[in-house]
Structure 1
Amino acid sequence: MQPYYSDGIYVAAGWNDPMRYFITFLILCAVTLFNLLSATLVSAQEKLSENEIVRMNGSSHIPEKGVIPDEQTAKKVAEAILVSIYGQEAIERQKPFRVVLLCNIWIVTGYLPPDQLGGVFRIEIAKQDGHVIQVMHGK
């Protein structure tokens, strides 16, 4: 008796051709089932909104209107971040702030009177979750 089939697969003790085909069939079924379940799970996750995914993962709840729902909140958050970067005095000189909501991103910029030279800050903050997208300051 040869220890290998002609195709090079090892013959385990007592494994005949029908058993070998049955085991191969079971392995193929398991792989196919795994692929189908994986594709279904990925498809289902793609259909979930960002809020549903956050809740599903057990993270804190994000309000429907977003973490930064209005202009006043955007100003306060921007000021807190900018003061820590540029200092209170530099930020105070650029008031009143200009705030615009564009594509669910709060854009807060400083103000510089026309008779003064220099640049102003610009900060972009996501309305939905409050993450800072960009901070910069002109010269």
Structure 2
Amino acid sequence: MKNKILSAFIPLLLLISYDISAQEKGDKKIVYERSNVYVDDPLPNNLVPNKQTAIKIAEAVWLPIYGKKIYNEKPFTAELTSSGIWIVKGTLKDLDLGAKGGVAYIEIQKSDCKILKIYHGK
């Protein structure tokens, strides 16, 4: 009786240990592997490669904070500083009429898309 239990238990134990090891291997994922195949490789130091991308990121961040009224500040401008930071701002309307007020402002790090500063002037 003891041999029958052992003979049934050992294959089951092996099957379970195989399943666990397969799951462990499956969890070890390579998120990004650098390769020299692509010339225009966007990672890891160029997550915000151009003005259009910086503006889209700024809009995505501003919209939940300031609402749709943010679109009244279009066109948005984006400039890249020498330290690799995109500065995106809205445009103040009616400057000819002596309008007062501020615009949305955001600083986005080019290398990793980190938001460094965000505010709206008054």
The share of aligned pairs that are identical, in percent, is 41
The total of aligned residue pairs comes to 81
SS at match of 2:73: coil
Gaps of at least 5 residues in structure 2 are 1-29, 34-41
1:74-131 per-residue CA deviation (whole Å, 9 max, x = no partner) reads: 0000000001111012x11110011100021000001012132211111000000001
Alignment of 1:1-139 (within 5 A): 60=32, 63=43, 66-89=46-69, 91-102=70-81, 103-113=83-93, 114=95, 115=97, 116-139=99-122
In structure 1, distance between residues paired with 2:114 and 2:44: 16
Flag the structure with larger Rg: 1
In structure 2, distance between residues paired with 1:106 and 1:73: 10
SS at match of 1:123: strand
Gaps of at least 5 residues in structure 1 are 1-57
In structure 2, distance between residues paired with 1:106 and 1:95: 17
RMSD of equivalent CA atoms: 1.7
Superposition TM-score, scaled by structure 1 size: 0.54
In structure 2, distance between residues paired with 1:63 and 1:79: 22
In structure 1, distance between residues paired with 2:31 and 2:114: 15
SS at match of 1:69: coil
Superposition TM-score, scaled by structure 2 size: 0.61
Instruction: Letter of the 1:67 partner, please give it.
Output: L
More relative contact order in 1 or in 2 (CA 8 Å, sep 6+)?
A: 2
